[in-house]
Amino acid sequence: MHMDKGDYTLTQDKINQLSKEIKELKKERRAVILSHYYQRPEIQEVADFIGDSLELSRQAAKTEAAVIVFCGVHFMAESASVLSPGKIVLLPEENAGCPMADMITAIDLERWKKNFPRATVICYVNTSAEVKAQSDIACTSANAVKVINSLPPDEVILFIPDKNLGDYIARQTGRKINVWDGYCNTHHKLTRQDVLAAKEEHPDALVVVHPECRPEVVELADKVASTSGMLRFIRESPARGFIIGTETGILHQCYKQCPGKEFFPASKKMVCPNMKATNLEKVRNSLVKLEPKITVPPEIRKRALRSLERMLAIT
């Protein structure tokens, strides 16, 4: 699968022209554009909503839009389809996948569950709809601790697919959690040495990291939070400088929402090629052709929705 490595650039004139076309097409198609925080700055600028993956799908479900254009990755568009079955859901770059979500399939999960017949399966939202359909309760990085704490103390818990987030939740809750051996390729790249080097270079800056990072990286953080949680912490903190331990796309919103503060990527390696695969031309083309469409089969949708609804009932 060929992926755009993030070196695709446009002139400002071309950005302006494409943005204008997208705005007109959006009105014509009664569309809403969603952008994850990790998308390119020009994508974030044409979006109606910018946020975490599930938060975006929930916002889109509340709108009157007939079409959802999801600038993110495949599992996110699937979640939008699960929550908005009557709307057309488009993923401008159909090959934008999530390596972590791909680390567990519904068949893998079915086999694993056989070893723990009475277990409760908690799936991170970074999973396919098929895997959500095989799970009991979904969670996000923001509410995972709350979801685990809602279960009886003696409950056997299977957590999929992120071992780093699973480790973080186990430490936060003091619970024994059986964790699948998956991880985010981008967050897993960040090492303790990277963070220590950044701290040496910017000694007064606070370290803010995503819980998808390795445990030894999480230990060095002043704040561990989801992407939305990171931005909230940065806005509310009196500190002026921050070392950011997540995908570099978030820096656009950091500077936008917190002018006057300084931001330093914990590592320049923190770029997700899948998130950067979407560009303005692909967004424009998806609105012209109403393709590529993402749909979830009704039976899988029904069961995946149940895992999301159980999470929403808790949180």
pLDDT tens sequence across 175-198? 999 999 999 999 999 999 999 999
pLDDT at 234 exceeding the cut of 80: yes
Q: Token digits for 111? A: 């086999």
Percent of the chain surpassing pLDDT 90:
94
| Cβ-proximal residues to 281 (8 Å cutoff; 6+ apart), any chain | 18
For residue 110, with 0-12 CB atoms within 10 Å meaning exposed, 13-18 middle and 19 or more buried, which class applies? exposed
The residue written with tokens 């921050």 in the block is: 242
Q: What pLDDT, on the 0 to 100 scale, is given for residue 8?
A: 65
Q: What pLDDT, on the 0 to 100 scale, is given for residue 21?
A: 98
Distance CA 36, CA 50 (A): 6
Q: What pLDDT, on the 0 to 100 scale, is given for residue 6?
A: 46
Q: What pLDDT, on the 0 to 100 scale, is given for residue 53?
A: 84
The residue written with tokens 């039976």 in the block is: 299
Q: Which of 9-13, 96-100, 154-158 has the lowest mean pLDDT?
A: 9-13
For the chain, the C-alpha Rg in angstroms (whole number) is 19
pLDDT tens sequence across 47-83? 999 999 889 999 989 999 999 999 999 999 999 999 9
Neighbours of 297 (CB within 10 A): 11
- For residue 1, what pLDDT band results from cuts at 50, 70 and 90? very low
Q: Which amino acid is at 268?
A: K
CATH number given to 190-265: 3.40.50.10800
Q: For 265-272, what is the mean pLDDT?
A: 96
CA angle at residue 37 from 101 to 282, to 5 degrees? 80
pLDDT at 2 exceeding the cut of 50: no
CATH number given to 12-97+274-295: 3.40.50.10800
96 phi, psi to nearest 5 deg: -75, 100
Nearest alpha carbon to residue 265 among 247, 252, 287, 281: 247
CA angle at residue 244 from 241 to 2, to 5 degrees? 145
The DSSP code for 153 is: T
Q: Token digits for 265? A: 């990527």
Distance in angstroms between the alpha carbons of the first and the last residue of the chain: 37
How far CA 2 is from CA of 5, 38, 94, 96, 187, in Å, comes to: 9, 19, 11, 10, 21
Q: What pLDDT, on the 0 to 100 scale, is given for residue 5?
A: 41
In the chain, CATH 3.40.50.10800 covers 12-97+274-295, 101-183+299-314, 190-265
- For residue 10, what pLDDT band results from cuts at 50, 70 and 90? confident
Q: Token digits for 94? A: 């159909």
Q: Domain 101-183+299-314 sits in which CATH superfamily?
A: NadA-like (3.40.50.10800)
Distance CA 20, CA 209 (A): 35
- The mean pLDDT value of the chain amounts to 95
pLDDT at 207 exceeding the cut of 60: yes
Percent of the chain surpassing pLDDT 70:
97
